[in-house]
Amino acid sequence: MAMIDLHRFPVVIFETDGVLAGTDRVHAAAWKRVFDTYLRQQPGLSPHQTRPFDVHDDYLRHVDGKLRLDGARDFLASRGIVLPEGPDGNGTLVGLGCLKDVAFLAEIRHDGVAVFPAAPGLARELRRRGAHLAAVSASRNGAEILARAALADLFDAGVDGADAARLRLATMPDPAMLAEAAHRLHTQPHETAVVAVTRPALQAAWRGRFGLVIALHPYDRAHTTPEPAANQVVHDLAEIQVTGRTSALGAHT
């Protein structure tokens, strides 16, 4: 079990992908389609370099929680492949990122976004008690993910990969994106709780000196090592309890 005391932490930041919505699986599948196609088309690569992208090990190790160009760069580097960043086109990181974005958006626009069962209830309970909530995503499509998951109305602010690019924010594990979310809710990191699942986001919360860091470590990630940089670890959002209340004037309706 974990506890969020709203007397101490009246603002809570959630990582979107993998905490609120099951889009991490969609991200992984979209990257697999792009990487596998790219690797098959490259001449002169070794069997080690062209083996298919693994949606568990490769995704979690190299891509999970990162902006798309950073994830693509790190995965290809693990295969000994270096690509220029851009401009858009074949054989660039930007080009691969655009192909991934098209595949990802097509999936969520066709099939919608799966929401983890405990997420809406926890968000509503936090709001009922007067907390303010933000959602942070490395994806450039964070706002659309929240909207298609029917969660957007539960959050007071959001910061995603598009915001990071526009504002030139350093990417996680740098705490800049989380700090921007806290700033938009007029609070300081030490007064803010963060609930995250990816290693970059958890490291960002720890490095940014956020007051409470809760690591979500679902059972389907049992083969990975829980992030040590966290105050509390849960397997499901249903294990998080909420206590305390901000002033009635600040409470949501």
Amino acid identity of 228?
A: P
50 and 125 both lie in a single domain: no
Read out DSSP for 5-74?
ETTT--EEEEETBTTTBTHHHHHHHHHHHHHHHHHHH-TT--HHHHSPPPTTHHIIIIITTS-HHHHHHH
pLDDT confidence of residue 87: 81
Cβ neighbours of residue 219 closer than 8 Å, sequence gap 6 or more: 235
pTM of the model: 0.86
134 and 76 both lie in a single domain: no
pLDDT band at 249 (very low <50, low <70, confident <90, very high): very low
Cβ neighbours of residue 220 closer than 8 Å, sequence gap 6 or more: none
15 and 53 both lie in a single domain: no
Q: What's the Rg (C-alpha) of the chain?
A: 18
- Of residues 253 and 97, the one with the higher pLDDT is 97
119 and 220 both lie in a single domain: yes
238 and 179 both lie in a single domain: yes
What pLDDT digit, counting tens, does each position of 63-72 carry? Answer: 998 888 999 9
pLDDT surpasses 80 at 86 = yes
Q: What percent of the chain shows pLDDT beyond 90?
A: 85
182 and 242 both lie in a single domain: yes
68 and 161 both lie in a single domain: no
61-83 burial: b if 16+ Cβ within 10 Å, else e: ebbbbbbbbbbbbebbeebeeeb
47 and 61 both lie in a single domain: yes
Which residue is it, tokens 């959602």? 135
pLDDT confidence of residue 89: 74
pLDDT confidence of residue 250: 47
User: Is 173:204 a contact under the CB 8 Å cutoff?
Assistant: yes
What pLDDT digit, counting tens, does each position of 209-243 carry? Answer: 999 999 998 866 555 555 567 999 999 999 999 99
- Picking from 64, 79, 111, the residue at the C-terminal end of a domain is 111
Average pLDDT estimate for 81-92: 86
pLDDT surpasses 60 at 12 = yes
What pLDDT digit, counting tens, does each position of 168-200 carry? Answer: 999 899 999 999 999 999 999 999 999 999 999
pLDDT surpasses 50 at 253 = no
Beta bridge pairs of residue 240: 2
What pLDDT digit, counting tens, does each position of 32-59 carry? Answer: 999 999 999 999 999 999 999 999 999 9
Q: Cα separation of 70 and 47, whole Å?
A: 24
Domain residue limits at 221: 2-22+113-250
Beta bridge pairs of residue 194: 13, 213
What pLDDT digit, counting tens, does each position of 125-160 carry? Answer: 999 999 999 999 999 999 999 999 999 999 999 999
pLDDT confidence of residue 67: 87
- Picking from 95, 111, 127, the residue at the C-terminal end of a domain is 111
User: Is 129:242 a contact under the CB 8 Å cutoff?
Assistant: yes
CB neighbours of residue 86 within 10 Å? 13
pLDDT confidence of residue 88: 75
44 and 142 both lie in a single domain: no
Instruction: Please give the tally of structural domains in the chain.
Output: 2
153 and 226 both lie in a single domain: yes
pLDDT confidence of residue 185: 97
Which residue is it, tokens 């074949």? 90
